[in-house]
Amino acid sequence: MIDISTDKEKLDIRVIHSYLANESYWAKGRTLETVQRSIENSLCFGVYLENRQVGFARVITDYAVFAWLLDVFILPEYQGNGYGKKLIRAIMTHNNLQGLRRWGLGTDDAHGLYKQFGFAPLNKPGNMMEILNKTGGQ
């Protein structure tokens, strides 16, 4: 049975940094310092199996109107067991994240997972803007 916790003291920074920096497609090369700072400034969700961290996600939010979901992963050897669904369900039902007007996320490969929780392509992509600094956050 898995445990999902927002207790930052339980997070295994080595596991999180290793996955993000070496295995993810979105955070390759991210430094340990950047991972630590991102965790300090986010609502984090750790996924644990027998007290070993096997997954992670974080939410950036104002707790009133908006939330952005990012750095979501289940370690490859634990995928296919429904842990990703349980993680997203825990996030979407978290007491402090209820009633938000807008959620956002970016994904190249997990559209089917997020669609189950109500995520859809942007309704008006033309009104969204971004600055993408390819050297920032490393």
Q: Which domain holds residue 17?
A: 2-117
- Residue 137 in domain: no
**pLDDT given at position 69:** 98
pTM: 0.93
Q: Considering only CA atoms, which of 120, 97, 99 is closest in space to residue 45?
A: 97
Q: Considering only CA atoms, which of 62, 70, 3 is closest in space to residue 35?
A: 70
Tens place of pLDDT for every residue, the chain, 138 residues? 899 999 999 999 999 999 999 999 999 999 999 999 999 999 999 999 999 999 999 999 999 999 999 999 999 999 999 999 999 999 999 999 999 999 999 999 999 999 999 999 887 777 887 777 777 666
What is the number of structural domains in the chain? 1
- Residue 107 in domain: yes
**pLDDT given at position 132:** 78
